[in-house]
A and B are shown apart, each in its own frame.
Chain A
Amino acid sequence: KTQVEQSPQSLVVRQGENCVLQCNYSVTPDNHLRWFKQDTGKGLVSLTVLVHENDKTSNGRYSATLDKDAKHSTLHITATLLDDTATYICVVGDRGSALGRLHFGAGTQLIVIP
């Protein structure tokens, strides 16, 4: 059973619009949660990491929240650019070290059109 569910599966927005990507998970324990960006044909690049209950992070136009009680995270992208077109992957780590396992969502495919 998939332990990390992302929605929507795909999303099309116009350049300049904002968007919100959702991640729900059932991983236990949930030590940390990362959002990755994967450009087509490329590897995963980390955008942000959330660790604590009710964490909020900001990285330029990307901001994220984590609600550990609800096991839910959101990734907000403001003023989207064409280069934001990519797959965004939510990953939950069950430990705080490399000895832990990462649980990957299938990703949300974001397409930004002019």
Chain B
Amino acid sequence: DMKVTQMPRYLIKRMGENVLLECGQDMSHETMYWYRQDPGLGLQLIYISYDVDSNSEGDIPKGYRVSRKKREHFSLILDSAKTNQTSVYFCASSLRENSDYTFGSGTRLLVI
């Protein structure tokens, strides 16, 4: 069953701590994304990765960085987490020339 897997599902961190969110996909998709979802807002794009070590900023990259060393794996890193980074983070993947997107189930991050 083709899917995008996110780990962990839930995470509580203190302000200033580092956070690592992981995402894997088993479809050999070239393109992967990190979004955040906040109440009353549509999903906002944080970073997009077109392939290994080929990453671009999305609409709200400040406070985040990413790493993609293998095609099937895309990490989101928060260096020194802030309370306003409390959110639900979604990873997604797609084929380069195809507009089909597969989303993970999300990671719920609480920064206290």
Could you list which residues of chain A lie within 8 angstroms of chain B, going by C-beta atoms? Answer: 2, 4, 31-32, 34, 36, 41-46, 49, 89, 91, 93, 96-107
Contact = CB atoms under 8 A, between A and B. Distances in A.
Interface residues of B, number: 25
Nearest to B40: A106
Interface string B98-112: 111101111000000
B30 A98 contact: yes
A2 B101 contact: no
A98 B96 contact: yes
B64 interface: no
B104 A98 contact: no
Contacts of B105: 41-43
A5 B105 CA distance: 24
Interface stretch (B14-22, B41-49, B66-74): B41-49
A26 B35 CA distance: 21
Nearest to A98: B31
